[in-house]
Chains A and B, each alone.
Chain A
Amino acid sequence: MSFSGPAEIKVALAGPPNVGKSTVFNLLTGLHQHVGNWAGKTVERKEGTFPYGRTSFRVIDLPGTYSLTAASPEELIAREFIIRERPDLVVAVLNAALLEHGLYLVAELLSLRIPVVIGLNMMDVARKEGLAIEPGVLSAALGLPVVPMEASSRGGIKELVKAIAAAAEGGRIPEPQRPVIREDHRLVLDRTGRLLEGTDLEPYPRDWVALKILEGDEDISRKVAAAVPPGRWEEILALLKRHDDALVAVASGRYAWIERMTRAALVRPQTGPISLTHRLDRWLTHPFWGLLAFAAVMAAVFSLTYALGIPLQGFLEKSVIQGLQGLVGGWTASSPWWIRGALVEGILGGVGTLLTFLPILILFFGFTALLEDVGYLARSAFVMDRFMHAMRLHGKSCLPLIISFGCNVPGVLGTRIIESTRARLLTMFLIPLIPCTGRMAVIAFLAPLFFREQAALVAIGLILLALGLLFATGMIGGRLFFRQDAAPFIMELPLYHVPHPRTICDLVRRRSIEFVRKAVVVILPVSLAVWALSRFPEGRVESSYLAGFSRALEPAGTLMGFDWRLMVALFAGFIAKENSLAALAVLFGAGEGVALGDLIVSAYPPAVGLAFMASQLLFIPCAATVAAFKQESRSWRLTLFNVAYLFILSAAVGIAVYQAARRIL
């Protein structure tokens, strides 16, 4: 009866984390992608299209979720999308090696009465684990199309597209097998459903709402309580009172269904497999060796990042940025000083310099993405768990903290993986205490000037100081914030596997774009503003508003041994941490044959140098981090408190270091 297919078919891509879903998404949509955020959320939304025959398919990548219980923002987004936007079908991408695990999500999807196609990915991994899976048998049992895939080597993508198209054509999909609920709860479910009759629950299906109420779903319960006639909600609650085990019972029903569905299709190895994962984990998650391995891995990541990244950064700064500055300076030679200054120093000097750190970041993100992709990052969360507990946090908080060594901005954004809001906020609060590459660049420049051979020792000491303060802050904050551990620690440890270059590139690209976008959107206006403050009204730093402000603070600065120039340098770090160096260069009039280093060493004793390095390491976070902090915490109060805390901490440490060092050094 169809004379032409519908113009556009909406396909939602669902699946648990670590199943290669983004690889499948990339293979389906190629370059036709659009990345944004879910409305009002900070969870990434990816959308893309692909044509097949005369039909265009629009693919929406849902956040990775194990279930649809609304226990996390991701789960809520996924299910609200399916219910409200009614995609024509959902593709569930599953890890074949964790088939039963993934089918739990399918069970939930089926209760939403939406057509489902299963992309059974990582068939190769399943084979290596010794599992024998018959996709055809599974498909027959479920009554759903099942496409075996190895997306890392593009395997099965054509077949998946065909299956999607066939399902969308409305080629009659047989009614799938759905999980049933235990007899004693069946009755309550029916009665709950009857109590909901006559209530407008649009767009939620009534029997699904009844099921979710039975499961104790907070989001749905709240919505229903507001929608039913007075007194009805109390009736429902009374009915449910004797069935408080329903959540577990409903889940048990789903696993019983999974068991039936996989009985014929899945053959497990006879002997307990001594798999790669098993052998590696014996060392990598060991209470002692695991910690040692973690330290070794991190040391390797940092030394490689800096060994390769610092020369690249220097090259970009010298040839690209300074070259551009020369060019632009030449073009604007006849324009007023403030136009030339804004372009050359404000924009190129601020944002331009910040962007020269991109190679360091790309390297760091590349290494961490590699660790994440092979499955190691989850192990590092596990071995660090016991240390995080002292702060009433748990292992997962470790992951954004590691990313923050590259740049605090993606670290702040990375706190999204922590389920509990309070644990997320505390982790975010601690992030600015992680020395990022920008701050390390300042130390890498100053430490050798003041301490020559001991420079590396001083740098490591300063990092340990920052980490010690992070730990102390977390211990105190954890005790003030939480009465007990903030969030349950329960996470899947993915199987180790060979890295997928595509997945890694995708991760690196996304994190780098986030950084560049922040650099342009946030840092550009701020760096222009700070530049203006440091030049106006007369065009000279010495008589600028910033200098006036810093001079006013000089009495406080003297306690740290700082003169007004160092105070300006400290505040200039607000644009971007490495800007402190640029500011010093301007203030000392370095250039033409006079090296900044010589000028600085002759101006300050080592005690002042040390105090400056310590306080700039802990000083208020850069503008981009503050902006990201505000965006993620949605609280100006907490953001400002964080800034004030770091301001006071950095001053206190600066004073302590100076007063101690000038007696010793």
Chain B
Amino acid sequence: MTPRAAGPMTLAQLSSGRRAVVAGLDGGRRLLARMVSLGFVPGVEVVMVQNPGRGALIVQIREARVALGRGEAHRILIAPARLPA
């Protein structure tokens, strides 16, 4: 695992095909409510399906596919995924 230099990573920085665990959420109440109802809570594993580097991206969370804007993805903090058992 490569150590990251500065600050926590956000979902927007996760490249396609990579896994991570949600570490925290940040945002207004409405955005938070929307995020948690679609499954984004600390501890949940996400797989980046498609992150073209700019614009909206797609993640797999549990069984669902969720599209979200880059701005929104920047508000989701992530940590390295647990190693597969």
Cβ B34 vs Cβ A490 within 8 A: yes
Cβ A69 vs Cβ B63 within 8 A: no
Known contacts A71-B30, A395-B67; A281 and B58 CB within 8 A of each other = yes
Q: How many residues of B contact A (CB 8 A)?
A: 34
Separation in Å of the A484 CB from the closest CB of chain B?
8
Cβ B66 vs Cβ A492 within 8 A: yes
Which residues does chain A contribute within 8 Å of B37, judged by CB atoms?
Answer: 66-67, 69, 71, 104, 251
Mark interface residues in B12-56 (1 if CB within 8 Å of A CB, else 0).
000000000000010101111111111101111000011010111
Separation in Å of the B82 CB from the closest CB of chain A?
15
Cβ B66 vs Cβ A100 within 8 A: no
Which residues does chain A contribute within 8 Å of B62, judged by CB atoms?
Answer: 98, 100-101
Q: Give the CA-CA distance A412 to B27 in the complex, in Å.
A: 30
Q: Give the CA-CA distance A218 to B52 in the complex, in Å.
A: 36
In the complex formed, the residue of A with least CB distance to B54 is: A386
Cβ B64 vs Cβ A101 within 8 A: yes
Cβ B43 vs Cβ A252 within 8 A: yes
Cβ B39 vs Cβ A285 within 8 A: no
Cβ B66 vs Cβ A490 within 8 A: yes
Which residues does chain B contribute within 8 Å of A278, judged by CB atoms?
Answer: 49
Q: Which residue of A97, A218, A277, A382 is within 8 Å of B56 (Cβ)?
A: A382
Cβ B50 vs Cβ A285 within 8 A: yes
B3 within 8 A of A: no
A116 within 8 A of B: no
Interface residues of A toward B: which range? 35 or more
Q: Which residue of A66, A215, A248 is within 8 Å of B42 (Cβ)?
A: A248
A371 within 8 A of B: no
Cβ A385 vs Cβ B69 within 8 A: yes
A124 within 8 A of B: no
Q: Give the CA-CA distance A255 to B66 in the complex, in Å.
A: 17
Cβ B36 vs Cβ A488 within 8 A: no
Separation in Å of the A227 CB from the closest CB of chain B?
21
Mark interface residues in A361-389 (1 if CB within 8 Å of B CB, else 0).
00000000000000000100110011001
Which residues does chain A contribute within 8 Å of B66, judged by CB atoms?
Answer: 490-493
Q: Which residue of A248, A286, A489 is within 8 Å of B67 (Cβ)?
A: A489
A394 within 8 A of B: yes
Separation in Å of the A128 CB from the closest CB of chain B?
12
Cβ B69 vs Cβ A100 within 8 A: no
Separation in Å of the B28 CB from the closest CB of chain A?
8
A131 within 8 A of B: yes
In the complex formed, the residue of A with least CB distance to B49 is: A281
Known contacts A248-B36, A382-B67; A488 and B58 CB within 8 A of each other = no
Given contacts A69-B37, A490-B67, 14 further A-B pairs with CB under 8 A are: A67-B36, A67-B37, A71-B30, A71-B34, A215-B33, A251-B36, A255-B44, A385-B55, A385-B56, A488-B34, A488-B68, A488-B72, A490-B31, A492-B67
Binding site for B on A (CB under 8 A): 66-67, 69, 71, 97-101, 104, 129, 131, 215-216, 218, 247-248, 251-252, 255, 277-278, 281, 285-287, 378, 381-382, 385-386, 389, 394-395, 419, 485, 488-493, 495
- Please name 7 pairs of A and B residues whose Cβ atoms are closer than 8 Å in the assembled complex, sorted by A: A100-B63, A101-B39, A215-B33, A247-B36, A248-B41, A381-B67, A493-B66
